Amino acid sequence: MEVFIARQPIFDAHLRVVAYELLFRSGFENVFPRIDVDSASSQVIRNVLMVFGMPTLSSGKKVYINITRKVLCEGLWMMLPPEQTVVELLETVTADAQTVAACQEVKAAGYSLALDDFVEGPGVEAFVPLADVIKVDVLATTPSEEERIIRRMSRRSSRHRPQLLAEKVETEAVFRACKEKGYVLFQGYFFARPEIVHRNAVPPSKLTYLQFLRELQHEEIDFSRVEQVVKRDVSLSMNLLKYLNSAAFAWRERVTSLKHALVLLGERPFRRWASLLAVAGMAEDKPPELALTCLMRGHFCEAVASQLGLEGLSGFMVGLFSALDALVGRPLAELLEEVNAPPDIQTAVLGEESRLGKVRALVMAYERGHWDDVARWSRALDLPEKTLPPLYERAIKIAGETLPSS
């Protein structure tokens, strides 16, 4: 299923992009669809976190997220990173004890607060002292109302003075006039229309496996975080313990937890085993040969890398990750970023510049029977071709023996 978000840039007076507003969309049509606004607001938060990832949408800038009363009071905004998020209260949210308390909580948690389509009135007055940004629709606001808002905000002390953002700026003349009036932020069709960003949604089970893989890439594994990921998916937890206690390991005692497995295996073998299981788990809805290919490539790349004096575990990960796109249905570069694969592994999986990248190219050429390419990459690596057949046969054997059964 494809998921869509529109993002519209917000500029400063020097026409530099300082933030993006993220808007709900249901398709390529660049308009807000007929959908309940509470649902739209919560879906944007979910899609930012679970489908796109904040770095993809923010480009290192702040993001404005439209928030309804329901989403504000239920605290769904807490899932977003405070240092990058501006909680933007829709104009339909009115001030009362519950919403003001929720906004105070927003501020105490380190988020910025913006008021959308601001119009003076008793329904919003209690929000003003808390606001970091006041957004004014310069098309819908009368000149006298606009002047009153600007004058009122300018009288506030510099410490508590919100920034004024001009919305619906559609011509250069309006932009220049708004600058002269004192606006410091600008948004509208004069600068850019909302840009549609889309991506295939990852099924929840595969998303859990991706998050599991991501935790395994850290220099030091944080088992509390790993176990939090595992607990989100009962089937993942069951599969882990089932496989840990299978004949493939032949422990003398029953393994009861991931930490127990780490003690028995050691950290490096644990990373290899856990990554193998995650990739195999993501292949459950694919032909069995795909999982077998991933594991075979992992073991083959590891063996070739070791022959060359390279890091064997890195070689294993390069081979294992080489078909992530086929497993998940998303571009490989995006997935490698999402699982936070180390730079050397990303470079090797995506290209042939490094020695590990050449190892991957050699392994895939051998797997496909492209013998001219096998000869070329063998020469490039200074590796005799005659060493490859036994390594390949052993990789197939080990992959078949270690492939987790359902």
Domain assignments of the chain as residue spans, ordered by start: 2-200, 204-402
Task: Indicate the residue type of 99.
Answer: T
Tell me how far apart the alpha carbons of residues 6 and 183 are, in angstroms, rounded to a whole number.
24
SS (H, E, C) the chain: CEEEEEEEEEEECCCCEEEEEEEEECCCCCCCCCCCHHHHHHHHHHHHHHHHCHHHHHCCCEEEEEECHHHHHHCHHHHCCCCCEEEEECCCCCCCHHHHHHHHHHHHCCCEEEECCCCCCCCCHHHHHHCCEEEEECCCCCHHHHHHHHHHHHCCCHHHCCEEEEECCCCHHHHHHHHHHCCCEECCCCCCCCEEEEEECCCHHHHHHHHHHHHHCCCCCCHHHHHHHHHCCHHHHHHHHHHHCCCCCCCCCCCCCHHHHHHHHCHHHHHHHHHHHHHHHHCCCCCHHHHHHHHHHHHHHHHHHHHCCCCHHHHHHHHHHCCHHHHHCCCHHHHHHHCCCCHHHHHHHHCCCCHHHHHHHHHHHHHHCCHHHHHHHHHHHCCCHHHHHHHHHHHHHHHHHHCCCC
Q: Check residue 308 and give its pLDDT.
A: 94
Write phi, then psi, for 204 (nearest 5 degrees). Answer: -55, -40
Q: Sort 244 into a burial class: Cβ within 10 Å, 0-12 / 13-18 / 19+.
A: buried
Q: Check residue 32 and give its pLDDT.
A: 46
Q: What is the reported pTM? A: 0.53
Q: Are 98 and 79 in contact (CB under 8 A)?
A: no
Q: Check residue 185 and give its pLDDT.
A: 94
b/e per residue, 77-93, with b = 16+ CB within 10 A?
A: beebeeebbbbbbbeeb
Q: Are 197 and 4 in contact (CB under 8 A)?
A: yes
Question: What kind of fold does domain 204-402 have according to CATH?
Answer: Hypothetical protein af1432 (1.10.3210)
Q: Check residue 232 and give its pLDDT.
A: 62
Please count the CA atoms within 13 angstroms of the CA of 50 that sit on its side-chain side.
17
Q: Between the CA of residue 379 and those of 77, 220, 389, what are the distances in Å? A: 55, 36, 16
pLDDT tens sequence for the chain (406 residues): 566 778 888 899 988 889 998 887 644 544 444 567 887 788 788 777 766 677 777 888 899 999 999 999 988 888 888 998 999 999 989 999 999 999 999 999 999 999 999 988 888 889 999 999 999 999 989 999 999 999 988 887 777 789 999 999 988 889 999 999 999 999 988 776 666 664 554 555 666 777 777 777 777 777 677 767 666 665 666 666 666 666 556 666 777 666 777 677 777 777 777 777 777 777 776 767 777 888 888 889 999 999 999 988 888 889 888 888 887 777 788 788 877 788 888 999 998 889 999 999 999 999 888 999 999 999 999 999 999 999 999 998 888 776 655 5
Question: What kind of fold does domain 2-200 have according to CATH?
Answer: TIM Barrel (3.20.20)
Angle at the Cα of 385 (from 381 to 389), degrees rounded to 5? 125
Q: Check residue 381 and give its pLDDT.
A: 95
Tell me how far apart the alpha carbons of residues 323 and 67 are, in angstroms, rounded to a whole number.
38
Tell me how far apart the alpha carbons of residues 69 and 41 are, in angstroms, rounded to a whole number.
10
Tell me how far apart the alpha carbons of residues 4 and 12 are, in angstroms, rounded to a whole number.
27
Q: Between the CA of residue 297 and those of 31, 285, 304, 324, what are the distances in Å? A: 45, 20, 10, 12
